[in-house]
Every structure is written in structure tokens, then in C-alpha cells.
């Protein structure tokens, strides 16, 4: 599977407003401390186990978000109308 680079930004858009200050601090640490953004993606999609220090309620929320996001992407076909538009 290729990485959806907007996974954490979409998660942030939907969730940050509802998170406590402690959760915001854990989210900030999660997106800033790992040296590799791919690690966060792999943890969120459960391709790799999340290290204990990052396996928080916020990581659980991100994992759940990734599952729902993947389900949406499987259900929705890409927009292909542009392929059939008459040339102008």
C-alpha cells in the first residue's frame, strides 16, 4: 500500500478541536518525535507494532481513523469524468 500523505493532516482536521490539552501534547509528540514519518503511517495502519512510548489513546484514535479512512477509500470509486470530457 502506498502512503496517504494526508492521513495525519486529515486526522488533525477532524479531531484536534475535540482533544484535551494532554491529548494535544501526545499528538504533538507523536508527529514530531519519530525520526521517520513512515513509522507513524505504519503504526496507524498496523503494518508495524506501535512502540510502547507512542501507544497512547491518541495513537488508538489515529488507528481507528486510518481504518475508517481506508474503508471510505475502498467504497468510493475515483472520479473519472475528466477522462470522458469532450476536448474544448
In a domain, 85, yes or no: no
pLDDT digits (tens, 9 = 90+) for 6-30: 788 899 999 999 999 999 999 999 9
pLDDT digits (tens, 9 = 90+) for 43-81: 999 999 999 999 999 999 999 999 988 777 766 555 655
**What pLDDT sits at residue 2?**
45
41 C-beta neighbours (distance < 10 Å), count: 20
In a domain, 21, yes or no: no
Cβ(69)–Cβ(10) below 8 Å: yes
In a domain, 42, yes or no: yes
Show the domain range for 60: 37-74
In a domain, 20, yes or no: no
Is pLDDT of 1 > 50?
A: no
Q: How many domains in the chain?
A: 1
pTM to 2 decimal places: 0.74
Helix (H, G, I), strand (E, B) or coil at 6: coil
Amino acid at each position: 500500500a502506498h502512503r496517504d500523505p494526508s492521513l495525519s493532516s486529515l486526522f488533525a482536521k477532524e479531531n484536534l478541536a475535540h482533544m484535551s490539552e494532554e491529548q494535544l501534547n501526545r499528538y504533538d509528540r507523536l508527529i514530531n518525535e519519530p525520526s521517520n514519518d513512515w513509522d507513524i503511517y505504519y503504526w496507524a495502519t498496523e503494518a508495524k507494532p506501535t512502540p510502547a512510548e507512542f501507544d497512547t489513546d491518541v495513537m488508538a484514535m489515529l488507528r481507528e481513523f486510518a481504518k475508517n479512512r481506508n474503508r471510505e477509500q475502498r467504497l468510493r470509486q475515483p472520479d473519472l469524468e475528466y477522462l470522458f470530457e469532450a476536448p474544448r
